[in-house]
């Protein structure tokens, strides 16, 4: 498995493969790979002839007081995992390679960028959209694989693909969880033992809402309240947001219907975690 460091190398790799008629899958990540990332790489390898995994801790999607500097970096282990799951190349550029002299050109998905995580993390989705656009322009993947875990990110990227007329299909893979329901995240390593025990609160809220909907509950007021009660029972977990929105627009809806996203974000200690469910 080759490790590519420059955009030009990624472009060359992609061009050479497309010339041979091979389909290309891209799995964008920030590294510290776990079983959630592994599931995306597996899905990519199952549906594309060539798979690139990008590993890049993207500074522009972190706020000034966030964890960019201490974000876990486990490059050697990431390469081993990616290779084992069927990746053909790793794209691991430097910050200067993707943002020459800091970069001055950014992608803003108006309206969606300020919703959910974008509301509590101003500039976050501008950073995400910008880096994914750079990857799409260089790699021109047929398909790019993202986790439902970051459901608002998927909405932002789908809108970007529509607006910029990228020829890449966005494929969304299910959330991979620990046995107690906690969604796998590279940030889970920040949790102390006590916090780790509190962290499944997010998924308990999600499951309670799912069971309400399973019993015919639909109204946003009732669903938001059902989730709120779960968090009220665990006061050490501080809610950032609880939202019922249309998955495409991220705008609040009054009742759950197919395509509605129920999403939560909460701080467990200093660590911000997210979880969600999508109704069908
Ligand atoms: P990250 O490295 O956190 O930027 O995540 C890279 C990709 O992996 C994103 O598309 C995430 O949504 C996805 N991902 C992260 N955690 C999970 C998980 N627990 N299950 C499925 N996909 C995930």
Q: What value does the mean pLDDT take over residues 114-119?
A: 98
Ligand 1 atom index nearest CA of 149: 12
If you measure from the C-alpha of residue 19 to the centroid of ligand 1, how many angstroms do you get, rounded to a whole number?
A: 30
List, chain by chain if needed, residues with CB within 6 Å of any ligand 1 atom: 29-30, 36-37, 39-40, 146-147, 149-150, 173, 175-176, 183-186
Tell me which DSSP letter residue 150 carries.
G
Quick one: what percent of the chain has pLDDT higher than 70? 100
Q: Model pTM?
A: 0.98
Q: What value does the mean pLDDT take over residues 32-40?
A: 98
For residue 60, give Cα distances in angstroms to 38, 70, 148, 153, 180. 25, 15, 22, 14, 33
Q: Which of 147, 186, 277 to mutate to test the pocket of ligand 1 (most atoms within 8 A of CB)?
A: 147
Which residues in 157-192 are b (16+ Cβ under 10 Å) and which e?
bbbbbeeeebebebbbbebbbbeebbbbbbbbebbe
166-216: pLDDT as tens digits? 999 999 999 999 999 999 999 999 999 999 999 999 999 999 999 999 999
The first and second tokens of residue 277, run together, are 């469910």
Ligand 1 atom index nearest CA of 37: 8
Burial of 224 (0-12, 13-18, 19+ CB in 10 A): middle
What totals of helices (H) and strands (E) does the chain contain, helices first? 10, 9
CA 112 – CA 98 distance, rounded (Å):
24
Q: Which of 36, 200, 263 to mutate to test the pocket of ligand 1 (most atoms within 8 A of CB)?
A: 36
CA 56 – CA 31 distance, rounded (Å):
7
In this prediction, residue 128 carries a pLDDT of: 98
Q: Which of 26, 27, 40 to mutate to test the pocket of ligand 1 (most atoms within 8 A of CB)?
A: 40
If you measure from the C-alpha of residue 148 to the centroid of ligand 1, how many angstroms do you get, rounded to a whole number?
A: 8
Active site residues: 37
Ligand 1 atom index nearest CA of 177: 19
In this prediction, residue 53 carries a pLDDT of: 99
Q: What average pLDDT is seen over the chain?
A: 98
Nearest CA to ligand 1 atom 5: 29
If you measure from the C-alpha of residue 185 to the centroid of ligand 1, how many angstroms do you get, rounded to a whole number?
A: 7
Q: Where are the beta strands (DSSP E) in the chain?
A: 2-4, 24-29, 50-55, 89-91, 143-147, 169-173, 237-246, 260-268, 271-278
225-272: pLDDT as tens digits? 999 999 999 999 999 999 999 999 999 999 999 999 999 999 999 999
If you measure from the C-alpha of residue 57 to the centroid of ligand 1, how many angstroms do you get, rounded to a whole number?
A: 13
If you measure from the C-alpha of residue 230 to the centroid of ligand 1, how many angstroms do you get, rounded to a whole number?
A: 25
CA 162 – CA 271 distance, rounded (Å):
33
Position 122 confidence tier, pLDDT thresholds 50, 70, 90:
very high
Ligand 1 atom index nearest CA of 28: 6
């Amino acid at each position: 498995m080759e490790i590519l460091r420059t955009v030009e190398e990624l472009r060359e790799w992609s061009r050479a493969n497309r010339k041979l008629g091979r389909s290309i899958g891209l799995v964008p990540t920030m590294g510290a790979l776990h079983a959630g990332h592994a599931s995306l790489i597996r899905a990519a390898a199952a549906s594309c002839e060539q798979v690139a995994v990008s590993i890049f801790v993207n500074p522009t999607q972190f706020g000034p007081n966030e964890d960019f500097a201490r974000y876990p970096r486990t490059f050697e282990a990431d390469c081993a995992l990616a290779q084992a799951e069927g990746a053909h190349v790793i794209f691991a550029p430097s910050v200067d390679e993707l943002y020459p002299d800091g970069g001055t050109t950014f992608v803003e998905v108006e309206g969606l960028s300020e919703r959910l995580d974008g509301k509590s993390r101003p500039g976050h989705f501008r950073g995400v959209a910008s880096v994914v656009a750079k990857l799409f322009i260089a790699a021109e993947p047929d398909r790019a694989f993202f986790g439902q875990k970051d459901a608002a990110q998927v909405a932002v990227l789908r809108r970007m693909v529509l607006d910029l007329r990228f020829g890449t299909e966005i494929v969304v893979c299910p959330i991979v969880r620990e046995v107690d329901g906690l969604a796998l995240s590279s940030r889970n390593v920040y949790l102390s033992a006590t916090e780790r025990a509190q962290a499944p609160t997010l998924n308990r809220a999600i499951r309670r809402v799912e069971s309400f909907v399973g019993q015919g509950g639909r109204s946003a007021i009732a669903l938001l309240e059902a989730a709120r009660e779960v968090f009220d029972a665990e006061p050490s977990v501080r809610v950032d947001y609880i939202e019922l929105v249309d998955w495409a627009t991220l705008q609040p809806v009054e009742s759950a219907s197919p395509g509605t996203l129920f999403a939560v974000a909460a701080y467990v200690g200093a660590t911000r975690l997210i979880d969600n469910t999508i109704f069908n």
